[in-house]
Amino acid sequence: MRLTNLSAHPDIGSNSYLLELGRTRVVLDAGTHPKHTGRDTLPLYEKLPPDSLDAILVSHPHLDHIGALPVLMREHPGAAVIMSGLTREQGSVLLHNSVNVMKAQREELNEPLYPLYTHGQVDACVRRWMTREAGERFSFGEHDRVTTEFFRAGHVLGAVGMRLELEGHRIFYTGDVHFEDQTLTRGAAFPQDPVDTLIIETTRGDHERDPAYTREREKRRFGEAIVTALGRGGAVLVPVFAFGKTQELLFMLKELFEEGLVPHVPVHIGGLSTKMTEVTDRHSDHPDRLHQGFLLLEDFPDLRRLARGRKEPDFHPGAIYALSSGMVSEHTVSHRFARRILASEQNAMLFVGYADEEAPGGRILAAGQGGRVALSSDSTHESEIRCTVERFDFSGHSPREQLADYAVSCSPRNVFLVHGDEAARGWFKRELGRRLPDARIIIPDPGEAVEL
């Protein structure tokens, strides 16, 4: 038995892992890397002989876990491709959007390989996708049957961790996980049984969460920041990821309005966020969902959608703008609208999720109010940040302490640390090395194969 890290870079992105279990070969996730373009954004799929996979399992539909799936499926037409039903529906929308983005980047970045796949190829892929839900046991492999079960991961609706078993050897892959309930998404329900090999995300390993933190307290602090900006006569931009964070934020704003903590004001969303919220509303009774039955697009007070074809909404003081992308990435609605928000000290930009330090959102956070930031990679022009800039912890990833506790509870013999930067994985290696002295704690290099 062997695990090969197919991720091409030693950080968060292009997540993909090959498991060789007897004569059965399965890849876990197939992501692209948000910091790279062209072939560099893909995992190391040249290490896989053509059509050599029995199965591909997908944990959730964020592009760093699913963006390379059409490429992998094209090279392995015989592989069974399995994910949850909601991941299937959301993943289709996100991959079609990825085609549109790559078409634009082909000219803007002079990237001749783009798009890496077409709309027609995405449709063909989706027809091959099979679905299994959390708690449903299934197996695959022509020669050595691998028994598998999905478990709710709590990261976004439909996200799963997965347990694979062959000849008594148990492997658990967390994917991206959040153990506590979020505003709209139930927390993870992972098994507590011992495993032989644990593959665990380390996203937040580089910092400790405040021991006094509660989601309710953070929500109130967020509401106070909104009220302060509105009281100055300004507007509020909240950069959000289209799937997951947008829907969590909308329900949180509904609660703040109803509790009288924020005055009722118009809330603007647009583009991909609207499409993803439509899918979420179609599954308002999903078992991962809290507050079942509430339809965000129909029941939310004074929600305003960006008209089809519009690049950005009109600016109105006294409004909240929940726009993607969450990292204010170039060529997105939040990136185009950010210039309007940055220009006035009356406004506020409030971050509620992950923002890579090299992305425009990360640079805005680092510079802060009064600083200057280059919003475009192809320009030396720097914009002054006149608005207030604040960060709030509504992460869809569990804090490091909870992840370490879970790892210890599994009593693994092998622990693979993935999906984190160098500092994050380093903390986990030290912490788990201390708490699991008999286990192998492994940080697999890109392309490295490790015997289990």
DSSP 162-189: EEEEETTEEEEE--S---S--SSBPPP-
Q: How confident is the model at residue 355 (pLDDT cuts 50, 70, 90)?
A: confident
Provide mean pLDDT across the span 311-319: 91
What average pLDDT score do residues 162-175 get? Answer: 98
Mean pLDDT of all residues in 107-130: 96
Distance CA 427, CA 206 (A): 7
* 108: pLDDT strictly greater than 90: no
Class in CATH terms, 215-391: alpha beta
Give the integer Cα–Cα distance in Å for 56 and 260: 47
Tell me, what's the pLDDT at 267?
98
pLDDT of 163: 99
Q: Taking a C-beta distance cutoff of 8 angstroms, is the pair 51, 77 a contact?
A: yes
Residue extents of the structural domains in the chain: 2-207+396-451, 215-391
Token code pair at residue 347: 């406004």
pLDDT, tens digit, for every residue of 195-207?
Answer: 999 999 999 999 9
Q: State yes or no: pLDDT of 271 exceeds 80.
A: no
Q: With 90 as the cut, is the pLDDT of residue 304 above it?
A: yes
For residues 404-433, average pLDDT: 98
Nearest-angstrom CA–CA distance, 432 and 405: 9
Q: Which pLDDT does position 309 carry in this prediction? A: 72
| 356 pLDDT higher than 90 | no
User: For residue 51, how many other CB atoms are within 10 A of its CB?
Assistant: 10
Mean pLDDT computed over 149-174: 98
3-state SS, residue 100: helix
| Across 387-395, average pLDDT | 97
Kindly report whether the global pTM for this prediction surpasses the value 0.85.
yes
Question: Is the separation of the CB atoms in 157 and 86 below 8 Å?
Answer: yes
Per residue in 223-257, pLDDT (tens digit) is 999 999 999 999 999 999 999 999 999 999 999 99
The C-alpha atoms of residue 180 and residue 187 are separated, in whole angstroms, by 4
Confidence band for 311, pLDDT divided at 50, 70 and 90: confident
Residue 380 pLDDT exceeds 80: no
The CATH H-level (homologous superfamily) assignment of domain 2-207+396-451 is Ribonuclease Z/Hydroxyacylglutathione hydrolase-like (3.60.15.10)
Express as a percent the part of the chain with pLDDT over 90: 90
Q: How far apart are CA 151 and CA 287, in angstroms?
A: 12
**What does the pLDDT look like over 77-105, one tens digit per residue?**
999 999 999 999 999 999 999 999 999 88
Question: What is residue 376's predicted lDDT score, i.e. its pLDDT?
Answer: 83
Q: pLDDT value at position 382?
A: 92
pLDDT band of residue 417 (cuts 50, 70, 90) is very high
For the chain, give the mean pLDDT: 96
Please give the residue that has the higher pLDDT: either 353 or 83.
83
| pLDDT surpasses 90 at 177 | yes
